[in-house]
């Protein structure tokens, strides 16, 4: 009987709903042709209800107009090259251990209110290289590994930086490695091969971008028909100030465009790694120096787009060097602190996005010989310091990896590869429009969303 009653009740309810819908339909078509049996008050009540609905809709539209997504005027895109979730966790665990506790001490960006994750595969491989990932992050289009802003079919792609420049924004590009390396190059150059360093660097001056900073150029000179062509000469002829020292920085005209590089006695390939800095006299610029100067040079009423890369996070992960990696992540975080200080002064006009191009090394917090243990303490890890980058020589890297991995293992860190992996990478954001970077996305979505926020068409 209970089933029959339930069925009868449902049938009755459905019938009532159908009848109500029929009445509403008739009312709409016939404007309620009222007989003497219908009280005039009923018509008045119906008409007031319609007015109320109209008024409510108008109010909702007005509220929507007032809550239009803010358009950021100043946008920072920080890219930790090779920085995965575990790299961040390792750095935070180290900072906690430095205070004598187990847990995490947050980096400058890991408490941003918006967090997401981005897939990183390239057009021809689930595991991307840096140039294909840089292409995705600068153009919003996938390409094959080793190509730079050129599609698999050979079409040249346009970096978001050029679109923003055309829209009136000032443009800055900074990195802890060479300016012609894959990630920074993806924002101003294109080539069928990421290794065409001279051809890539030669596209810097024609870009007309306002600020560049990095260790230098990997191939600044090229012989052409018996004579040498020099990248630095091209840059200066285009009106850029080339700055190598604090003294030159102080003397540089405020109105000039700038290329900031290391002194000639330093390595063109990269800045001195953070873990070695205390032991290196006159170590030269840091990524924080580049970020601070870039903010100073770019800030004006036009607004800016500033891409800053922590390039040696990737290199130390290629080396499977846990302590050097941790120092690079912390160094990257210090550069982001300067953007956060800027954001606090311009909270309604600034957007900061922090992400990575891919994960490197397959880092895990845990080692098979000491299960359920992690010892990221300064006492253990500082025994591993003082090394220089190993990946400049592939043969030496292969020979050194077992030793370096064992050193990492003493602290409880392990590695699966000396190359890239295919996992998703973190995305953190704060400021105007930051909600767009919540949840799962592809790396190609990041430049598209930045462009949509900065250029309202």
Q: pLDDT by residue (tens digit) across 249-258?
A: 999 998 899 9
What is the DSSP annotation of 103-150?
S----TTTT-SEEEEEE---SS-SS--HHHHHHHHHHS----TT-BSB
pLDDT, averaged across the chain: 86
Task: Decide if 253 contacts 238 (C-beta within 8 A).
Answer: no
Q: How far apart are CA 221 and CA 66, in angstroms?
A: 55
Mean pLDDT of 134-160: 98
Region of residue 284 (left: phi > 0; alpha: psi -120 to 50; beta: else): left
Which tokens is 409 given? 């293992």
pLDDT score recorded for residue 41: 42
pLDDT score recorded for residue 91: 97
What is the DSSP annotation of 388-411?
PP-TTSHHHHHHHHHHHHHHHHHH
pLDDT score recorded for residue 396: 62
Is there a domain that residue 19 lies in?
no
Is there a domain that residue 438 lies in?
yes
Specify the number of domains making up the chain.
1
Count of CB atoms within 10 A of residue 19's CB?
Answer: 10
Comparing 50 with 412, which gets the higher pLDDT?
412
From the number of C-beta atoms within 10 Å of its C-beta (0-12, 13-18, 19+), residue 365 rates as middle
Is there a domain that residue 209 lies in?
yes
pLDDT score recorded for residue 382: 60
Residue 306 DSSP one-character state:
E
**Whether the predicted pLDDT of 169 surpasses 50:** yes
Is there a domain that residue 47 lies in?
no
Q: pLDDT-derived band of residue 280, with 50, 70 and 90 as boundaries?
A: low
Q: How far apart are CA 210 and CA 235, in angstroms?
A: 12
Is there a domain that residue 31 lies in?
no
- Give the domain CATH number at 278: 3.40.720.10
Mean pLDDT of 312-332: 95
Q: How far apart are CA 315 and CA 325, in angstroms?
A: 8
Mean pLDDT of 266-281: 86
- 334 in helix, strand or coil? helix
- How crowded is the C-beta side of 241, counted as CA atoms within 13 Å? 18
Host H or E run for residue 326 = helix 322-345
Q: How far apart are CA 121 and CA 357, in angstroms?
A: 10
Mean pLDDT of 147-154: 98
Range with the lowest mean pLDDT among 274-278, 290-294, 441-445? Answer: 274-278
Is there a domain that residue 411 lies in?
yes
Range with the lowest mean pLDDT among 172-176, 217-221, 374-378? Answer: 374-378
Mean pLDDT of 415-444: 98
Comparing 186 with 265, which gets the higher pLDDT?
186
Q: How far apart are CA 172 and CA 304, in angstroms?
A: 8
3-state helix, strand, coil in the chain (%, to 5): 45, 15, 40
Mean pLDDT of 414-425: 97
Q: Global pTM? A: 0.84
CB < 8 Å & 24+ apart, contacts of 240-246: 240/205, 240/212
- 208 in helix, strand or coil? coil
pLDDT score recorded for residue 113: 98
For 114, the domain range is: 74-454
Which tokens is 428 given? 């953190």
Is there a domain that residue 90 lies in?
yes
pLDDT score recorded for residue 67: 54
Is there a domain that residue 23 lies in?
no
- Strand blocks (E) in 221-365: 221-224, 227-230, 240-243, 257-260, 304-310, 350-355, 359-360, 364-365
Tens digits of per-residue pLDDT, 59-112? 555 444 445 678 899 999 999 999 999 999 999 999 999 999 999 999 999 999
Q: Is the Cα torsion angle 138, 106, 423, 385 positive or negative in sign?
A: positive
């Amino acid at each position: 009987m209970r089933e029959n009653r339930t069925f009868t009740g449902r049938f009755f309810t459905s019938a009532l709903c159908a009848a109500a819908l029929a009445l509403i339909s008739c009312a709409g078509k016939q404007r309620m042709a009222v007989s003497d049996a219908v009280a005039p008050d009923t018509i008045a009540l119906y008409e007031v209800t319609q007015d109320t609905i109209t008024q409510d809709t108008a109010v909702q539209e007005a509220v929507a107009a007032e809550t239009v997504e803010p358009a950021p005027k100043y946008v920072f895109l920080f890219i930790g090259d090779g920085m995965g979730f575990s790299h961040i966790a390792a750095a935070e665990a180290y900072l906690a251990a430095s205070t004598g506790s187990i847990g995490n001490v947050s980096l400058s960006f890991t408490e941003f209110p918006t967090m997401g994750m981005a897939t990183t595969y390239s057009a021809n491989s689930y595991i991307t290289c840096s140039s294909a990932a840089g292409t995705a992050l600068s153009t919003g289009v996938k390409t094959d590994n080793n190509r730079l802003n050129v599609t698999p079919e050979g079409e040249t792609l346009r970096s978001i930086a050029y679109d923003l420049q055309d829209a009136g924004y000032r443009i800055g590009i900074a990195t802890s490695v060479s300016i012609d390396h894959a990630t920074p190059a993806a924002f101003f150059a294109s080539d069928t091969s990421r290794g065409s360093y001279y051809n890539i660097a030669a596209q810097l001056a024609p870009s007309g971008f306002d600020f560049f900073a990095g260790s230098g150029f990997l191939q600044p000179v090229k012989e052409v028909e018996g004579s040498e062509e020099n990248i630095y000469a091209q840059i200066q002829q285009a009106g850029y100030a080339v700055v190598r020292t604090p003294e030159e920085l102080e003397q540089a005209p405020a109105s000039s465009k700038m290329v900031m590089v290391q002194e000639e006695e330093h390595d063109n390939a990269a800045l001195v790694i953070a873990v070695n800095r205390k032991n290196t006299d006159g170590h030269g610029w840091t990524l924080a120096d580049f970020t601070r100067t870039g903010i100073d040079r770019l800030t004006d009423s036009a607004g800016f787009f500033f891409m800053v890369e922590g390039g040696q996070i990737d290199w130390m992960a290629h080396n499977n060097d846990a302590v050097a990696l941790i120092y690079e992540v912390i160094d990257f975080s210090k550069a982001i602190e300067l953007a956060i200080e800027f954001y606090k002064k311009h909270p309604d006009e600034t957007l900061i996005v922090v992400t990575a191009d891919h994960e490197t090394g397959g880092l895990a917090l845990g080692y098979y010989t000491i299960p359920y243990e992690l010892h990221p303490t300064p006492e253990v890890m500082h025994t591993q310091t003082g090394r220089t980058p190993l990946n400049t020589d592939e043969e030496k890297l292969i020979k050194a990896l077992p030793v370096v991995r064992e050193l990492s293992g003493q602290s409880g860190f392990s590695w699966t590869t000396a190359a890239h992996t295919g996992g998703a990478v973190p995305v953190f954001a704060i400021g105007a429009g930051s909600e767009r970077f919540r949840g799962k996305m592809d790396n190609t979505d990041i430049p598209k969303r930045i462009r949509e926020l900065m250029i309202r068409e």
